Amino acid sequence: MISLLVKEKLYINEVVLGTGFGVLMGPHVANAFNPAGWSDTEEGYRKITLEVMRVVLATGLFAIGVELPKNYMAKHAKGLLVMVVPTMAIGWVIVAGLLKALFPILDFISCLVIAACLTPTDPVISAAIVGGKFAVKHVPVNIRQIIAAESAANDGLAYPFLSIAIYLTMEASTKSAVGKWFLVGWLYEVILGTVLGAVLGLAFSWTMRISHQRGYLDHESYVAQYLSLSLLTIGIASTIGSDDLLAAFAAGSAISWDGSFNTHTEDEVFASVIDQLLNCACFIYIGAWLPFTDFNLPEFGVVPWRLIVLFVAILVLRRFPSIMMLFRWVPEIRTWKEALFTGHFGPMGVGAVFISTIALERLPHPGEHPTTQPEILARILQPIVSFVVLGSIIVHGLSIPFFSFGKRTISLTMSSTFGNNRTETQDYVRSLVGRPAPVFHSGRPPTSGTPSISSKPASVKAPVTIGAHPASGPGSPLGTPPRRTSGELISVRYFLHSFALK
């Protein structure tokens, strides 16, 4: 009912609104919406959460791949490579170090598991922020595109960071962990998932183009492939155990590689409606999913002040250092100000919930009294990740309204300052004018019909006497002013009077 006011005037997107509504309707406030009641077991609830996040992420990643310009991944491969791999690796290690310093009960490998959940940039929140009206107006298109592409790519690449940490935690030897990480984490999950998505996208693109040219496929069915192909891709990838997120992004990029799919769907709102509907439902779910009671577990060192310090440190150190060091090798980022903006917009949301849920699927059940390191990790992983996700939704989701309010405040302050100065100047001018200026029906001084030189053509200027010195004659410390024609006096008085009345 008030979506235009909230989104276009206040710049508050569905991320913040959906999460806030989920918290209010969730089990900790109104208890009208409780996803935990959908299953009798914790494992079943975790499965539901995993699949909800999977569908929303895959649809969002597919949409990003489709909406990027054609051949974008090939043309901007260098910038994306620098933005994704070293930035993720540096942030992964930094976050793990922060976790180790704040939660001594965890060893460094366990900290790497949690850091892997918080490393990727969330594509759903990023798309909601950089796709808004304020960002479209004030953020350069090159920055919006690189942020969207980076968030889509590094969300799928979180699998290798998580898998190496999980294997090091669960496997008996480091050699076995590294071997499985290379074979399973990279070859089977990342590379196979990317190839699978690209093949499906190219195959569908060619098939739909031929069918449409021959009149076998109507426009409505063409647009429907937007959703059906993303679901088919994640269904095949998840069934064989490959990286379904990278597969969805690769399929979206491949299906629009030549730009034909974009041409047929650019004026359609169906995809935007589906995307917004899924995003709203997902963040309402996250708001109800947040485990507020687990934010205080003193026996494991999880207390509110540590969580707040962790979140602030992650905001400052997770992306800013690496982006500021590497942006010179990213052609899409041209200035240090753009680098600061890119470093700030690294939200954590749906992707962090999804990766953390996968990690819990691979870790042992903690039980009532966890003693081993994997059990302790399984007990405190979700509280830490969920608190950072909540903070990121608040900070990054309200960044655009904050920037907008700041611009308006600065504009009002400058207007008030110059307005006061203008009033004083107007009073001084009124004292100089002395009497009302002549009124002209046309709203400006006449250019003809007056007893002055203004009857001359506009291109001809009045002659100016060179060498006349005003420093002589009584009546003024500076001497007698030069003589003015009646036309000049009328024009000057009209100008001063108009200025004084403004």
- The domain that holds 268 is classified in CATH as 1.20.1530.20
User: Looking at per-residue confidence, does 30 or 473 come out higher?
Assistant: 30
When pLDDT is cut at 50, 70 and 90, the band that residue 172 belongs to is confident
Bridge partner list, 491: none
Enumerate residues 6+ apart whose C-beta is below 8 A from 479. 469, 470, 471, 472, 473
Instruction: Determine, yes or no, domain membership for 283.
Output: yes
What are the tens digits of pLDDT across the range 410-453? 444 444 444 454 444 444 444 444 444 444 444 444 444 433 33
Q: Tell me if 498 is assigned to some domain.
A: no
Q: Is residue 156 part of a domain?
A: yes
Q: Would you place residue 481 in the very low, low, confident or very high pLDDT band (cuts 50, 70, 90)?
A: very low
**Whats the size of the chain, residue-wise?**
502
Instruction: Measure Cα distances from 172 to 166, 175, 450 in Å.
Output: 12, 9, 102
In sequence order, what are the beta bridge partners of 342? none
Q: Is residue 74 part of a domain?
A: yes
Beta-carbon contacts of residue 493 (< 8 Å; ≥ 6 apart): 433, 437, 438
Q: What percent of the chain has pLDDT over 90?
A: 41
Q: Is residue 53 part of a domain?
A: yes
Residue 447's pLDDT is 42
Query: Does residue 67 surpass a pLDDT of 80?
Result: yes
pLDDT of residue 457: 40
Residue 378 has pLDDT above 90, yes or no: yes
Q: What pLDDT does 319 receive?
A: 93
Tell me the per-residue pLDDT of 233-289, one tens digit each, with 9 for 90 and over: 999 999 998 999 999 999 989 988 877 777 766 666 666 777 788 889 999 999 999
- How many folded domains does the chain comprise? 1
For residue 122, which of 395, 307, 381 has the smallest C-alpha distance? Answer: 395
- In terms of residue numbers, what domain contains 321? 14-397
98, 365 contact by CB (below 8 A): no
Model pTM score: 0.78
Per-residue CA distances from 240 to 45, 47, 180, 230, 237 (Å): 23, 17, 17, 16, 5
Instruction: Please state, in angstroms and rounded to a whole number, the distance separating the CA atoms of residues 430 and 48.
Output: 75
Q: 436 in a domain, yes or no?
A: no
Question: For residue 467, is it within any domain?
Answer: no
125, 352 in Cβ contact below 8 A?
Answer: no
Answer yes or no: is pLDDT of 50 > 90.
yes
In a domain, 452, yes or no: no
How many whole angstroms separate alpha carbon 104 and alpha carbon 113? 15
Q: Could you read off the pLDDT of 338-367 as tens digits, one per residue?
A: 999 899 888 999 999 999 999 999 999 888
CA separation for the pair 89, 116 (Å, rounded): 9
Residues of the chain above pLDDT 70, percent: 74
pLDDT score recorded for residue 297: 94
| Residue 438 structure tokens | 């002549």
Compute and round to an integer the Cα radius of gyration of the chain: 32
